[in-house]
């Protein structure tokens, strides 16, 4: 195996990076890929709770870096999906505990043990972002269709380009189709045109994301239940090289549903 190391980052906080990593990790593992998700947000650990693995942590990333345990000992295996592992962040330390070379070393030693390493980057452009991006073969930028998030995403793209890293692809998260329809939200083509990088995913706003976080049971576990869940799976499929069309974000109208119903009855 030669794992692909993919860092998920955004610049701005709160756009859905951690949710994205949790769901992409699951969607890839469901497809038989061996996946390690790394929480690189030292001091503000959250990937564990989103995945519902918070009670199983013994060691963390900083313990590995500082040699208090072996890498295997720090990895938490998800019992629901035997191919998914979490390398948690330390909660009582800060970003200065890890250097870019440390992350490169950790990721390099994972390369022959799995198919994908997904790194959940901290927000910001400081040390945490630097060490999260350092080991990346590919970068996924998560943004929301709002001015502050798009502006920060552009800054991140500039920094990544300056470091000559990438390829970099874009995920537009939390789009609200009804607001787009009313012209009260940036649309997907607007954001793609402004940022001028390739799009790999569009995820609609979905209340079930919060419910899933409440339970520690990410949406991607039940792929067909919601549009957002399907969107996560589609991104995973695109990462695996499948050509998957983007989901239509608009709910079909009454007439359209009636038409489809009549047509399917006729089959």
Partner 1 sequence: MGFLGRLLGRGEHSSGAVAKERLRLVLSHDRANISPALLDTLKDEIVTVISRHVPIDADGVEVTFSQNARETRLVADIPLSTRGGRYEK
Binding residue for partner 1 (CB under 8 A) from 54, 138, 146, 208? 146
Please, what is the Cα angle at 53 between 123 and 101, to 5 degrees?
45
Q: How far is the CB of 161 from partner 1 (least distance, A)?
A: 7
Q: How far is the CB of 188 from partner 1 (least distance, A)?
A: 11
- Site residues for partner 1, 105-134, by CB under 8 A, read none
Select from 175, 129, 131 the least CA-distant residue to 152: 129
- Site residues for partner 1, 163-182, by CB under 8 A, read 179-182
197 is a contact residue toward partner 1 (CB under 8 A) = yes
Q: Is the CB of residue 225 less than 8 Å from the CB of residue 219?
A: yes
Q: How far is the CB of 148 from partner 1 (least distance, A)?
A: 10
Q: How far is the CB of 145 from partner 1 (least distance, A)?
A: 8
List residues bridging with 84 in a β-sheet.
35
SS3 106: helix
155 is a contact residue toward partner 1 (CB under 8 A) = yes
192 is a contact residue toward partner 1 (CB under 8 A) = no
Select from 12, 11, 35 the least CA-distant residue to 240: 35
Q: What is the DSSP letter of 56?
A: G
Taking the least distance from each CB to partner 1, the nearer of 54 and 146 is 146
Q: In what order do the strands lie in the sheet with 76-77?
A: 76-77, 84-87, 35-39, 116-120, 4-9, 138-143, 168-175, 198-204
Binding residue for partner 1 (CB under 8 A) from 54, 137, 190, 208? 190
Residue 145 half-sphere exposure toward CB, CA atoms < 13 A: 24
Distance CA 183, CA 165 (A): 35
147 is a contact residue toward partner 1 (CB under 8 A) = yes
Burial 82-94 (b: 16+ CB within 10 A, else e): ebbbbbbbbbebe
Binding residue for partner 1 (CB under 8 A) from 112, 164, 184, 243? 184
- Residues in Cβ contact with 241 at an 8 Å cutoff, skipping those fewer than 6 apart: none
Q: How far is the CB of 142 from partner 1 (least distance, A)?
A: 17
Binding residue for partner 1 (CB under 8 A) from 101, 126, 161, 251? 161
Binding residue for partner 1 (CB under 8 A) from 187, 216, 237, 238? 187
Q: How far is the CB of 203 from partner 1 (least distance, A)?
A: 18
Q: How far is the CB of 179 from partner 1 (least distance, A)?
A: 8
- The pairing of strands 116-120 and 138-143 is unpaired
213 is a contact residue toward partner 1 (CB under 8 A) = no
257 is a contact residue toward partner 1 (CB under 8 A) = no
Residues at the interface with partner 1 (CB under 8 A) = 146-147, 150-151, 154-155, 157-158, 161, 179-187, 190, 194, 196-197
């Amino acid at each position: 195996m030669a794992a692909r190391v993919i860092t998920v980052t955004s610049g701005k906080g709160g756009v859905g990076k951690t949710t994205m990593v949790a769901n992409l990790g699951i969607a890839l593992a469901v497809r038989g890929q061996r996946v390690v998700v790394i929480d690189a947000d030292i001091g503000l650990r959250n990937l564990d709770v989103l995945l519902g693995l918070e009670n199983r942590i013994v060691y963390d990333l900083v313990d590995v870096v500082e040699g208090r345990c072996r890498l295997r000992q720090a990895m938490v295996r998800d019992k629901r999906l035997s191919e998914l592992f979490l390398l948690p962040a330390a909660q009582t330390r800060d970003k200065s505990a890890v250097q870019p070379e440390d992350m490169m070393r950790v990721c390099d030693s994972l390369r022959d043990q799995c198919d994908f390493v997904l790194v959940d980057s901290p927000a910001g452009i400081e040390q945490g972002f630097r060490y999260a991006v350092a080991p990346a073969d590919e970068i996924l930028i998560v943004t929301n269709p709002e001015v502050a998030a798009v502006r920060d995403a552009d800054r991140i793209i500039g920094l990544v380009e300056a470091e000559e890293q990438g390829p970099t692809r874009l995920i537009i998260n939390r789009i609200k189709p009804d607001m787009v329809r009313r012209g009260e939200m940036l649309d997907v083509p607007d954001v793609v045109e402004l940022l001028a990088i390739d799009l790999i995913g569009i995820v609609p706003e979905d209340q079930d994301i919060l419910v899933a976080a409440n339970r520690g049971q990410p949406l991607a576990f039940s792929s067909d239940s919601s549009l957002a869940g399907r969107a996560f799976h589609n991104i995973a499929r695109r990462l695996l090289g499948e050509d998957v069309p983007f989901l239509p974000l608009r709910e079909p109208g009454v007439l359209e549903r009636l038409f489809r119903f009549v047509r399917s009855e006729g089959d």
